[in-house]
A and B are shown apart, each in its own frame.
Chain A
Amino acid sequence: MMQRVSTRWIALLVLVALILPNVITLAQDNVVTIEWWTVNSEEYSEEAQRGLAAQFEATHPNIRVNVTVLPESGFDERMTTTLGAGEGAPDVAFFWNTNWYPQALDLTPYIEADPDLGPETYFENFWLTRAVWQDKIVGLPLGVGANFVMYNKAVFDEAGVEYPTADWTTDDYLEMAAALADPDQRRWGGDRPRGPFRAIWRNYGAFPYSDDSTTVDGFLNSDASVAAYTWLWDLVASGATPTPADLEILGTEGTGPIDLFLAGRLAMATLNQGHMLNAIDAGVEFGIVPEPQVEGNERYVNAWSLTASIWSGTQHPDEAYEFLSYWVGPEGQRYLMENGNLFPSIPEVLAEYENAETDYAQAFFSVLEYRQVAEWTNAHPCNSTVLRAAVDAWDLINLGEIERDQVEATLDGLVEPSQAALDECVARLGG
């Protein structure tokens, strides 16, 4: 009986194999097909991007664009696998991980020959952090994003606290957070940073190691760094900020506690322009200020743009550039702004944003002018390795396991393992 059944299964299998979707399409001789990988996100939906590709194809009859839309959470694994295999990578895609840059085609000759597009087209600081790497142009920056503090006006009014202004300081932040917190309603004043050595650390003037990537001592445990960590200690001790448990549960996948903010349980939260649109949709009255400064120091912002690049293994670099410069050029970014939620990285196009005159848009645009945290981190690829070795200080403070005066000693104690991690990383990457 079993034998008869298995023959039937084999027959079924053969049948099934025959109807398998056949993805190999025979290209016409004069038409070049470009593989384009992208993700589906709040800024650009799958539909909008297909529309963009269709519009490009209409004006470029010799190029066909094959769109692969991947989920955000799997894009890295797929890119890494194909780049590692050295085959099957797309002609055009996001190269948003700096580790991939060595396999991005150098666009310098194309940019030099292009009359319409160049460094001056884009925001200068985004061009410098996201398009230029070593002496290459590795891609073009698509869209802009940044962290800033959003405050819930209703909660401020209820607590009788004045709204923050752009020139507020880290001390103001502590004070306001304490005044806004209300344990009875399980409401917190402000959130805590999601990692060390981001905007607030920079505002204190702190870096994890020396600019030439040789020394940790005197940087991780510098006065500036101790001051930043101590600020975190004060914030944690005040009880005005959600615990790590609450932030992780309610912080939606590490991108920011937007849901907690919308529910009115967090008066101030470090969020981004995507969350800003969520808040507008939800009808929450809010204002925007940059992350607090430290008087006398230069001010930084945690900002980003996505590097869109051409894979160096492409068979059709010219056509790939045609498409890339359309997608990330004024036309493409305008299309994605009008058919989605993209904030273009091109100042002239961004100025066309329909709500450009609103307070929130102006506040958002203004933080884009600050110096960027990424300026240093992108140029120092061992940053994450060193921070992993030094994570104990962060954990101990967040768990409330050390006293205020132990912060410095804790950082001193982490210098040695961090230095070892730095040396190993530098040796591997060849300086």
Chain B
Amino acid sequence: MFSTWRALSPRARREALEAYLALTPWIIGFLIFTVFPIGASIYLGFTQWTIVEPPEWIGLDNYVRMFTRDPLFWQALKVTGLFVLISLPLKLILGLMLALLLNLKIPGMNLYRTVFYIPAVISGVAVSLMWMWLLQPDTGVVNTLLSYIGVKGPNWFWDRHWALPSVAIMSAWKVGGSAIIYLAGLQNISAHLYEAAEIDGANPWHRFWKITLPLLTPTIFFQLIIELIDSFKVFTEAFVITQGGPLKSTYFYMLYFYEEAFQNFNMGYASALALLLTSIILATTVFINYTSKRWVYYES
């Protein structure tokens, strides 16, 4: 790093110094709020710690156990991976579609935007109860509506094949939150571009593919990373509604982590689980970041 520094011109040095100055708050925060806890988790990942007694060093045993003799770990990983594959595209596409709708310049849009934001606002037990009620197999609103069109609805949360999609639907319903971020991203696309395209005779479909989508890629990239992290960390729905069932079909990684950490007091193993999850997400992010050069268009 220092050799790079010497190679810099005085102007570039000045710019770099200004950057470090601007980054100071984050660097301090990183050292205090992240390095210390991560360091602690890395250490604890090599120990057996029941919380109430001092940690005991066991080397790599937690990791060995994870990969060689823990069927629950593999189940949790499988379920979570599957959830990411279902939920990620669903949320990305629905969020964008909703944002495009909410970006229409028509009167009364304020109200619509607020309505679609509601699901993102309500959290906790009330929402879980509401979803169980909506998706109740015999009497729930959803299956009642389906029966009107002659479809026999599934058992949703109470079916080993449908429980995972049910959780995905539940999280997709909160898409109003990510629509806001798309909406903000849409504001950075110059009206001139649309105008020019319109003069050239491009139809709305073309304008979407040729202008909106490419210029929105920085926002899509952001959403992709954020939703990826969120999907890997899915927890609350399973914790409150399914407790991982039926037949461990919603046994998410974070649920396993939580049970180990706060119910079985197996904090050493839980730390190892957390670090492994972090590594998986990080590796995926680095990969996406690497491909981003091909599909993300920045202004400069």
Contacts and interface: CB of A to CB of B under 8 A. Distances in A.
B contacts with A: majority SS: loop
Contact of A99 (B51, B132, B248): B51
B137 interface: yes
Interface string A178-210: 000000001000000000000000000000000
Contacts of B241: 248
A384 B262 contact: no
A245 B50 contact: no
Contacts of A244: 158, 246
Contact of B158 (A245, A392, A396, A429): A245
B279 interface: no
A245 B137 contact: yes
Nearest to B156: A245
Of the candidates B48, B69, B156, B264, the one having the most CB atoms from chain A within 10 angstroms of its own CB is B264
Interface string B17-60: 00000000000000000000000000000001011110000000
Contacts of B263: 384
A244 B136 CA distance: 10
Contacts of B248: 391-392
Given A99-B50, A391-B248, A76 B158 contact: no
A77 B267 CA distance: 13
Interface string B188-229: 000000000000000000000000000000000000000000
A392 B247 contact: yes
A175 interface: no
Given A76-B262, A384-B263, A399-B160, A249 B133 contact: yes
B246 to A, nearest CB: 5
B265 interface: yes
A108 interface: no
Interface in A348-387: 384-385
B71 A102 contact: no
Size bin of chain A's contact surface: 20 to 34
B93 interface: no
A385 B138 CA distance: 33
B103 interface: no
Given A80-B262, A244-B158, A428-B266, A395 B245 contact: yes
A204 B125 CA distance: 36
A243 B53 contact: no
Nearest to B70: A424
A420 interface: yes
A399 B136 CA distance: 14
Interface in A373-431: 384-385, 388-389, 391-392, 395-396, 398-399, 417, 420, 424-425, 428-429
B132 A249 contact: yes
Given A76-B262, A248-B241, A396 B136 contact: no
A350 B136 CA distance: 42
A395 B247 contact: yes
Contacts of A99: 50-52, 264-265
Contact of A385 (B50, B156, B262, B264): B264
A88 interface: no
A103 interface: yes
Contact of A399 (B50, B139, B246, B266): B246
A211 interface: no
Contact of A396 (B129, B159, B247): B247
Interface in B123-152: 125, 129, 132-133, 136-139
Of the candidates B137, B138, B263, the one having the most CB atoms from chain A within 10 angstroms of its own CB is B263
B51 A80 contact: yes
Contact of B48 (A389, A392, A395, A428): A428
Contacts of B262: 76-77, 80
Given A76-B262, A395-B246, A424 B65 contact: yes
Of the candidates A243, A245, A384, A425, the one having the most CB atoms from chain B within 10 angstroms of its own CB is A245
B232 interface: no
A243 B140 CA distance: 13
Contacts of B259: 388
Contacts of A321: none
B66 to A, nearest CB: 12
B245 A391 contact: yes
A246 interface: yes
A37 to B, nearest CB: 16
A335 interface: no
Interface string A73-115: 0001100100110000000000000011111000000000000
B171 interface: no
A243 B245 contact: no
B157 interface: yes
Contact of B52 (A77, A100, A253, A391): A100
B267 A84 contact: yes
A249 B72 CA distance: 27
Contacts of A248: 132, 157, 241
Contact of A83 (B51, B156, B157, B247): B51
Contacts of A243: 137-138, 158
Contacts of B236: none
A78 B265 CA distance: 13
Nearest to B51: A84
A100 B241 CA distance: 27
B155 interface: yes
Contacts of B247: 392, 395-396, 399
A353 B52 CA distance: 38
Contacts of A398: 246
Nearest to B160: A399
B129 A249 contact: yes
B158 A102 contact: no
A420 B70 CA distance: 9
B71 A399 contact: no
Interface string B157-194: 11110000000000000000000000000000000000
Nearest to B155: A245
B255 to A, nearest CB: 11
Contacts of B264: 99, 384-385, 425
Contacts of B48: 428
Given A76-B262, A99-B52, A417-B71, A245 B245 contact: no
- 3 nearest A-B pairs in the assembled complex, by CB-CB distance: A102-B52, A84-B51, A99-B265
Given A249-B133, A385-B264, 17 more contacts: A76-B262, A77-B262, A80-B51, A84-B52, A99-B52, A186-B139, A243-B138, A245-B155, A249-B129, A249-B132, A384-B264, A388-B72, A398-B246, A399-B246, A424-B65, A424-B69, A428-B266
Interface of A: 76-77, 80, 83-84, 99-103, 186, 243-246, 248-249, 253, 384-385, 388-389, 391-392, 395-396, 398-399, 417, 420, 424-425, 428-429
